[in-house]
Amino acid sequence: MKHIFIVGSRGYHAKYGGWETFVSHLVDNYNDDNVTFHVSSISDKKEKPYQKGLVNITPIKTCKLGPARMLVYTIKAFNYYLNYIKKNKITDAYIYVLGLKLGNILKQKQHIIKKLGITVLVNPDGLEHERAKWNTLVKKFFLFSEKSMLNNCDIIVCDSIGIKDYLSKKYPHLKKKMTYIAYGAKTVDLSKVNEDSILKEYHLEKEKYCLMVGRFVPENNYEMVIKGFMESKIDKNLVIISNISSSNYYHELTNKIDISSDKRIIFIDGIYDEVKLSVIRKNAYLYIHGHSVGGTNPSLLESLSLTKLNILYDVCFNKEIGKNACLYFSSSKSLTKLLNNIKNYDRLKLGKECQKIIKENFTWEIIVNKYKEIFK
C-alpha cells in the first residue's frame, strides 16, 4: 500500500482557498485502491484523527498566532507524519508539502527522511515572498525557506510554467528534479439545476454583471479593478465574491475609495457551494481575474471553463493559461478602456476557445494522471 501525506493546506474540503481546492480535487479524483491519502487539518482544539471517505484526516491543534500560525501548523503536521510513518513502519511513503512553510526543517530531518525511505515533494506555489500581506521579516523567511526546502526535497512540483522558469534560472542545479503539473478545472453538472432560482437568491440577472472571485488581498488587484470599473461606462454591475467578512483589507479599501458612490458594485461574502458558484460564473457577462502572484489559479480555470469572456491581469502566470482566448489589463486605465469597448469582442468565439484550453490541458483526469506518474 502506498501512502501519500499532504501538509500545507488548511484541510480537506475546507472553505479557504487554492490549496484546499487542489487537495480535495486531487484526492477525490485519484481513484486508486492501492493508495491511502493522509491530509492534515488545522484545528483550534485537540482532536483525534478520523476518516472521511477514503481519506485519513489528521487534525493538528495550533494556537492562533496571526500570520505565523500556518507556518507553525505545517511544521507540526510534517513532524507528526514523520513519527507516524516510523511508528507504523510504512515503507512506501510520500510527503507532499504545499508551499514554503518549513524553513530549515527538511535539512534538519534529512537523516530521518532518508532512513525511512520517504520521498518528499515540494510545491513552492508562486513568489510567496512578494505577497503584500507579509512584512519584511516574513518575506525574508520565505526566501530562506525557498532555498532550503528546494535544495533538500526530492521532487519540485511547479503548478505554473512561469514559476518553473523562474526557479530554473534561480536554481539551475535543481532543474532535473523540477516538473510542471498545473491545477485542474472541475466540471459541475448543471443540467438539472434551476439556474434562475440561484441567480434570484443573490439578486443577479443573467449577463447583467461582471464577476470577480478570490481572496480579498492586495495582490489580487482589487483596488486597480474597482478604480478601472468605476471610471468605465459599462452598463453592467461588478459582483465581487470574496471573504469580505474576514478581510481587514476590505475595510482598508472601502475607507480609501468611495466605492458606495457607484451603485453598480456589489459585494457578496464567500460562496462555497460549487453548484451555486458555477451558476454565477456561467451567467456572468464577463469575468475579471486580478491575481498577480502565484501559479495556476483554480478560480481562473473554473472561470475559463464556464464564462464566455475573461479579462486577466497581464502577468505570465495568467497569460500561459488564457493565451489568445482572453483579454488582458495592466492598469486601471487599460481595464477601463477594455470595458468601454467590450462589445467589440466576440464573446461566443472567445468562450469556445477558453473551453477548448480547459478540455485539452486542465481536466482533473489529465492532472491526476500526471501525479500518478510521480507516485508510481
Our CA angle for 68, 72, 77, nearest 5°, is 145
Give the C-alpha separation, 37 to 275, whole Å.
26
User: What CATH number is associated with residue 38?
Assistant: 3.40.50.2000
Q: What angle do CA 320, 148, 17 make, to 5 degrees?
A: 45
Residue with cell 534560472: 169
Examine the fold and report which residue of 155, 180, 205 is the final residue of a domain before the chain moves on: 180
- Cα(181)–Cα(192) distance, integer angstroms: 33
The answer to whether residues 123 and 213 belong to one domain is no
- The verdict on residue 185 lying in a domain is no
Please state the φ and ψ torsions of residue 202, each to the nearest 5 degrees.
-105, 15
Domain that holds residue 92: 2-180
User: Which domain-ending residue is among 180, 214, 237?
Assistant: 180
pTM for the complete prediction?
0.86
Residues 217 and 267 in one domain: yes
CA 17/CA 28 separation, integer angstroms: 17
Cα torsion at 78, 132, 300, 101 (round to 10°)?
A: -10
- Contact (CB, 8 A) for 214 and 192: no
Tell me, rounded to whole angstroms, the distance of Cα 95 from its chain centroid. 19
Same domain? For 47 and 175 the reply is yes
Identify whether residues 141 and 85 lie together within a single domain: yes
Answer yes or no: do 212 and 351 share one domain: yes
Looking at the 3D structure of the chain, how many domains does it have? Answer: 2
Q: Final residue of a domain: which of 180, 204, 236? A: 180
Residues 12 and 153 both lie in one domain: yes
Nearest to 41 by CA among 54, 63, 58, 21: 58
Question: How far is it, in rounded angstroms, from Cα 40 to Cα 285?
Answer: 38
Q: Determine, yes or no, domain membership for 352.
A: yes
**The 3-state secondary structure of 48-87, one letter per residue:** CCEEECCEEEEEEECCCCHHHHHHHHHHHHHHHHHHHHHH
For residue 368, being part of any structural domain is answered with no
Nearest to 246 by CA among 213, 217, 282: 217
Helix (H) or strand (E) holding 327: strand 327-329
The full length of the chain comes to: 376
The gap from C-alpha 6 to its chain's centroid, in whole angstroms, comes to 15
Q: Same domain for 27 and 116?
A: yes
User: In 10 A of CB 275, how many CB atoms?
Assistant: 15
Residue 55 CB contacts under 8 Å (≥ 6 apart), including other chains = 12, 27, 37, 38, 39
Q: In a structure prediction context, what are the per-residue pLDDT tens digits for the chain, which is 376 residues long?
A: 999 999 999 998 766 567 888 899 999 999 999 999 999 999 999 999 999 888 999 999 999 887 788 889 999 999 999 999 999 999 999 999 999 999 899 999 999 999 999 999 999 976 665 565 666 777 788 888 999 999 999 999 998 888 899 899 999 999 999 999 998 988 889 999 999 999 999 999 999 999 999 889 888 999 999 999 999 999 999 999 998 888 889 989 999 999 999 999 999 999 988 899 999 999 999 999 999 877 678 889 999 999 999 999 999 889 999 999 999 999 999 999 999 999 999 999 999 999 999 999 999 999 999 999 999 8
Residue 14, CA atoms < 13 Å, CB-side half-sphere: 18
User: Coil, helix or strand for 299?
Assistant: helix
Q: Tell me, yes or no, whether 370 lies in a domain.
A: no
Residue 170 and residue 264 in one domain: no
